Structure formats: C-alpha cells, structure tokens
Amino acid sequence: MTQHVLVLGGGVIGLSCAFELRRRGFGVTLLEQGRCGGQASGAAAGMLAPYSENVEEPDAFFRLCLRSLNLYPDWQLAVKEASGLDFEYSATGSLYVMYHDADVQAMESRRLWQDGHGAKSELLDAAELRRLEPHIAPEAIGALRYPGESHVYAPDYVKALEEACRRTGVVIRDGLGPVDILRWQDGAEVRSPASGETYRGDILLVANGAWAGLMEEAFGMAIPVYPIRGQICAYETPEMPVRHMVFCSQGYVVGKRNGTLVCGASEDVAGFETTVTRRGIARLESWNGKLFPFLGGMRPFHEWAGLRPATHDGFPLLGRLRRSDSLLFAAGHYRNGILLSPVTAHVVADLLEGRDSSGPELAPFEPERFGVRA
Ligand SMILES: Cc1cc2nc3c(=O)[nH]c(=O)nc-3n(C[C@H](O)[C@H](O)[C@H](O)COP(=O)(O)OP(=O)(O)OC[C@H]3O[C@@H](n4cnc5c(N)ncnc54)[C@H](O)[C@@H]3O)c2cc1C
C-alpha cells in the first residue's frame, strides 16, 4: 500500500524532500504555515560551497555537504525538467581571499586536508588573483581557489522546486498559520485551526527550519534549533565585474546572472525578526568595499534578511526518531540548507524506503541526541 507522508514546512528542505518522496512513489501532502520559500530559503545567497564553509576538519557535516554538492548536477536538472522552470546554476568556482602573510600557513593546511576530499584547490599569489579578479582590492595578497564550488539563484530554485512538487502530484496546503500536532506515533495527524482542516498520513516529516525548536512540547524532546538572522544586500551592476564567488573572513560576494551582486551576511540574534538594521547593512557595506573598492562608492538597491536554523552542536537533526517509526526530522541546516537540499531529500527517501544508505554516517545527526522527556 502507498505510504502517505505529511511534510511540515515549505522551505527548500521540505520541498526537496516532498519532491524526492513523490518521485519514489509516496503520497505527499506539504503543510506550510505561510508561503512556500517565504523564509530562509528564499533569502539565501545560494552558494554551494562545502570547502569554503567547512574550514576546520573533515567531519560528518562536511562529508554530508560534499555528498550533496556531488548530487547537484543531476538534481538541478531533475528539478528543471519536472517544473518546466529554469533557474541559475553556475559553476564559477570560488576564491577565499587573504590579506596577511600570516593567513598563508592556515590556507595551506586547509588546502592539504581538503584536497584529500576532492577540492582540487590552488593557492594563488597576488598577481594570479588579480588576473582572475581584476577588480579585487590592492590589499589582497592572494587567495585559495576552489574550482568545484558553484551557486544557484535561490529564489528561483525554490520556486522551481514548488512547481516541480505541484506538477508531480504533491498536495500543497499553504497559508495555514500555526498548526496543532494531534498524532505522531502510529501515524500522523495535524490540524490547522485557520483552515479548519485535519490532515492525516502514515509519516510526519518535520522540516520547518528555525521554527522546529518551538515543537519541544509537541514531541516531548529537546530541540535546540533557534533562528540566527542573516542580513544581506545586493547591488545592481550593468556589467558583472565579479567572476567568482569571493569569500573573506568577514563575508562573501556572489555575482548573479541577472546582473545583481549579492553580498552577505550578518549573523545576529533577533528572535524571529526578519527586518534589516542600518548597523547590519553598514557593516556589510564596509566589508564589501574592502573586498572590491568599486563597491565603496555604491549603495545596495535591495536589502533583506532571513532566519538560519541553527543548532547547539552545529549539525542538523536528520533521521527517524527511536520512539516512533512515524516521525522524522530534517531541520537545523543553518548556513548550508540550499547546498544540503538534495542529500537531505535522498537520505529521507532512502530511510522511508527502508534503504539505510547512509548507515553510521547519520549517527551524529540523530534527532533525539539532545534528550527526550521521560
Ligand atoms: C542571508 C542568508 C544567506 C544564506 N546563504 C546560504 C547559501 O549561500 N548557501 C546555503 O546552502 N544556505 C544558505 N543559507 C541557509 C539556508 O537558507 C537555510 O539553511 C535553508 O533555507 C533552511 O531551509 P529550511 O527549509 O529548513 O527552512 P526555511 O526556508 O526557513 O523553511 C521553513 C518553513 O517552515 C515553515 N513553518 C514553520 N513552522 C511551521 C509549522 N508549524 N507548520 C508549517 N510550516 C511551518 C516556515 O513558514 C518556512 O516556510 C542562507 C541563509 C540566510 C538567512
């Protein structure tokens, strides 16, 4: 008999899981309290950058990111084909810029361990960097180049995912407001007081990003997921002067095919507030000018913010609960949810098909690792 999955949350994670589950023959209903893609996923810079984002060691999170990067070429084609919508997927590579001689040693050790994991990176001196990025600041003394990192235009990617879900037969109910969890053991039942409807399924997948932490009571467990606001801005450039994704220790700059230069991002604690502050954007403006002096004289034409779903140990909650076969989590992807969307969808679908393809690799992401209530 076809199993029916209720997916809670219509961000990139919920939509990706819904799409993959539907492709594998599950019945899927996605429940969204607001608008699909209306939170962190639509706000993201869209970088697929496992090496630039993981600079310490090859831990389980890094390996998950890498697996997802490798899934992207096929995954993005599948989303485009199923949705009939195009979105930018650009294999520009990235540059991590250095300003001080003291940075070179740290970059070299990062290069050594990451090259053991397919980075194929290259340490560039100032002249080589300037040849690749002619407008870079004169203070930059070199960069680490990762040719395999890429990016998507996140708002369009999420729109295409939503359309791919609809076209393949995922039932999407949005604008539901806060919902009540009525059952999560031995089946799933969720009620929306706003719509007056009750939704039933065999499985409940919790994929509601930064809001997952509000569900401790409902599931009787510790869920230390909380929102970290990212303020971000974009400049309009007539001819794209930046060729790569360019990182420094304080932020990043990514040129999009539509002529916008996206620059991010703050990491501040403001509860569930998604407004931008003058202070937050001013800090970005100051760093953008230090990376690319031509930005020093410009003002962003667009400023916005989103809520990254952070966790206490930096790892997402991904997998099935020990206490119930009917409940799974896919939440807490923090800075890398766009990158991690294909692998998350594959892991969830494999688990529900009874194919535990990730095995011990998933242990660090166990949803109940922070404790359950007696
Ligand atoms: C400024 C910024 C830049 C970023 N840049 C990148 C990047 O370059 N690369 C990258 O990989 N990642 C990036 N991220 C991180 C990425 O955006 C997130 O990790 C990702 O979007 C998380 O997806 P999600 O679906 O879990 O959460 P969300 O997109 O927040 O979606 C969760 C959804 O659940 C809904 N919801 C909440 N509670 C309920 C409920 N009870 N019932 C029903 N629905 C509910 C919400 O309304 C929301 O739509 C960035 C984030 C920010 C803020």
**Does the C-beta of 142 come closer than 6 Å to ligand 1?**
no
Beta bridge partners of 29: 6, 171
- Cα→Cα distances 10→176, 263, 282, 325, 331, Å: 11, 25, 31, 22, 12
Give the mutation target among 32, 225, 283 for probing the ligand 1 site: most ligand atoms within 8 A of CB: 32
pLDDT at 356: 76
- Report which ligand 1 atom has the smallest distance to the Cα of 333: 19
**CA dihedral defined by 14, 15, 21, 24, rounded to 10 degrees?**
-160
| CA dist., res. 56 & res. 129, Å (int) | 24
Planar angle of CA 247, 249, 254, nearest 5 degrees: 20
**Does the C-beta of 232 come closer than 6 Å to ligand 1?**
yes
**Does the C-beta of 38 come closer than 6 Å to ligand 1?**
yes
| CA dist., res. 103 & res. 108, Å (int) | 9
Run means of pLDDT, 10 residues per run, the chain, 374 residues? 94 98 98 98 98 92 97 98 98 96 93 95 97 96 97 98 98 97 97 96 98 97 98 93 94 95 96 97 93 93 98 97 96 98 97 85 95 86
Q: Do domains 4-79+154-223+313-370 and 93-149+226-311 have the same CATH topology?
A: no
- Cα→Cα distances 232→116, 159, 302, 308, Å: 33, 20, 9, 12
| CA dist., res. 89 & res. 157, Å (int) | 9
- Report which ligand 1 atom has the smallest distance to the Cα of 151: 8
CA of 306 from ligand 1 middle (Å) equals: 8
CA of 339 from ligand 1 middle (Å) equals: 12
CA of 134 from ligand 1 middle (Å) equals: 34
**CA dihedral defined by 39, 335, 313, 17, rounded to 10 degrees?**
60
**Does the C-beta of 276 come closer than 6 Å to ligand 1?**
no
Of the chain, the end-to-end C-alpha distance in Å amounts to: 34
DSSP alpha helices (H): ranges in 84-153? 102-115, 126-132
pLDDT at 351: 96
DSSP letter (8 states) at residue 10: -
| CA dist., res. 230 & res. 265, Å (int) | 5
For the domain made up of 93-149+226-311, give the CATH fold.
D-Amino Acid Oxidase; Chain A, domain 2 (3.30.9)
pLDDT at 1: 75
- Amino acid identity of residue 201, one-letter, is G
- Cα→Cα distances 316→207, 213, 239, 359, 364, Å: 11, 12, 38, 16, 9
Give the mutation target among 75, 153, 192, 308 for probing the ligand 1 site: most ligand atoms within 8 A of CB: 308
pLDDT at 359: 76
| CA dist., res. 358 & res. 347, Å (int) | 7
Which residue's C-alpha comes closest to atom 35 of ligand 1? 9
Structure tokens at 199: 């939704």
**Does the C-beta of 39 come closer than 6 Å to ligand 1?**
yes
CA of 230 from ligand 1 middle (Å) equals: 11
Beta strands 142-146 and 94-98, pairing class:
antiparallel
pLDDT at 155: 98
265 prior amide bond cis, ω within 30:
yes
Q: Which CATH architecture has domain 4-79+154-223+313-370?
A: 3-Layer(bba) Sandwich (3.50)
**Does the C-beta of 18 come closer than 6 Å to ligand 1?**
no
pLDDT at 238: 81
Which residue's C-alpha comes closest to atom 42 of ligand 1? 33
Which residue's C-alpha comes closest to atom 40 of ligand 1? 33
Classify each residue of 331-351 as buried b or exposed e, where b means 16 or more C-beta atoms within 10 Å of its C-beta.
bbbbbbbbbbbbbbbbbbbbb
pLDDT at 360: 81
**Does the C-beta of 12 come closer than 6 Å to ligand 1?**
yes
In a 13 Å sphere around the CA of 51, the CA atoms on its Cβ side amount to: 29
| CA dist., res. 138 & res. 293, Å (int) | 9
pLDDT at 297: 85
Gyration radius (Cα) of the chain, Å: 21
The residue assigned the tokens 């034409």 is 301
CA 8 to chain centre: 17
Domain ranges of the chain: 4-79+154-223+313-370, 93-149+226-311
- Report which ligand 1 atom has the smallest distance to the Cα of 334: 19
pLDDT at 168: 98
CA of 154 from ligand 1 middle (Å) equals: 11
- Report which ligand 1 atom has the smallest distance to the Cα of 8: 43
**Does the C-beta of 43 come closer than 6 Å to ligand 1?**
yes
